[in-house]
Structure 1
Amino acid sequence: MKLELSILDYIHKHLRCVLGDFLMPIISALGNGGFIWLCAIGVFLCTSRYRMAGLSMALALSMGLVVGNLILKPVFRRVRPFAKRPGMELIIRAPRDASFPSGHTLTSFAAATALFLAERRIGSIALVLAALIAFSRMYLYVHYPSDVLAGVLLGSGFGYMSFKMLDMWKFLF
């Protein structure tokens, strides 16, 4: 945990700037409750060309929300990094749930990976956004690097699983 706090301290001391302090809360907020991904799913489900991509994203996002927020966070109950630094002033409202894994990162990579596997060009943009959301969580000092890494790995796995499940379902029917 000391190494992880050192990484966050480095980001806090050397990478923070006025532009980052403006943009990172906005980027992070896009991942609140999977908001940006739910909007994308809604749009994709309304178009026949992207409907399967939307379904794959919805399945991946659902798996991520259930496993990350309803199972893993209550099991691990990891304290947020800002709580380890008395006097740390956050530039966003302090999250009250557990730190591990990063739900923003998990759901973002779940949806973005599912989209990437279905539609490479749009999915590439989604993966960049997912990476920005993931970095924002460390920039804002609300997640340890291992929280974010777990979110990337789990989310990517759920994205892959949902794509393969729907691909198999499409093949069967």
Structure 2
Amino acid sequence: MLGIKKYRRAGVGVFMALLFSLIMGNGILKHAVMRVRPCIDYPWMPMLVHVPNVNNFSFPSGHTFGSFAAATVMFSAMKRYWGIAALSLAAAIGFSRIYLFLHYPSDVFAGSILGIIAGAAAWCLSGKLILWMKNTTVIK
């Protein structure tokens, strides 16, 4: 997306949104809240995937956070087909985290809300960054 001029703002926005989700979600919030995953709280439940380490915390869902952040930028850039498809995929990723018993529903809900906020902020900042880059002759 960064290489094609038509989609450059979307590419910058997705990159910024994923960076926001990595820093805020995995870097700050998971270690501040330190919520244990449901598969650790209820060890007798059969698991379909590998059980994460005990120090790999649950809140917020990083997969949901990142997917909703990127999908929000894509929806802002390409509202119709690709934007709706990206949001649908993000919702499916969120559901899969609950289905696989790796997150509580509140983890996924918080990840989706935070992802939408991060994606909207990244979309606004990407427009300002692209405009600044054009005005300072960084890109043509």
TM value normalised by structure 1: 0.72
Unaligned 5+ runs, structure 1: 1-43
Runs of 4 or more, structure 1, over 3 Å off, are 169-173
Counterpart check, 1:153 vs 2:113: yes
Q: What is the RMSD computed on CA atoms of the aligned residues? A: 1.2
Counterpart check, 1:133 vs 2:102: no
**Aligned residue-pair number:** 130
Find the partner of 1:111 among 70, 80, 105.
Answer: 70
Per-residue CA distance 1:73-105 (angstroms, 9 max, x = gap): 111110101122231111011122100000000
Question: Percent same amino acid at aligned positions?
Answer: 45
Q: Secondary structure at the residue paired with 1:94?
A: coil
| 1:60 aligned partner | 17
TM value normalised by structure 2: 0.88
- The structure richer in helix per residue is 1
One-letter amino acid of the structure 2 residue matched with residue 110 of structure 1: A
State how far apart, in whole Å, the 2-side matches of 1:151 and 1:67 are.
11
CA contact (8 A) 2:9 2:130 kept: no
State how far apart, in whole Å, the 1-side matches of 2:62 and 2:77 are.
23
Q: Secondary structure at the residue paired with 1:87?
A: coil
One-letter amino acid of the structure 2 residue matched with residue 107 of structure 1: G
Unaligned 5+ runs, structure 2: 136-140
| 1:102 aligned partner | 61
One-letter amino acid of the structure 1 residue matched with residue 69 of structure 2: A
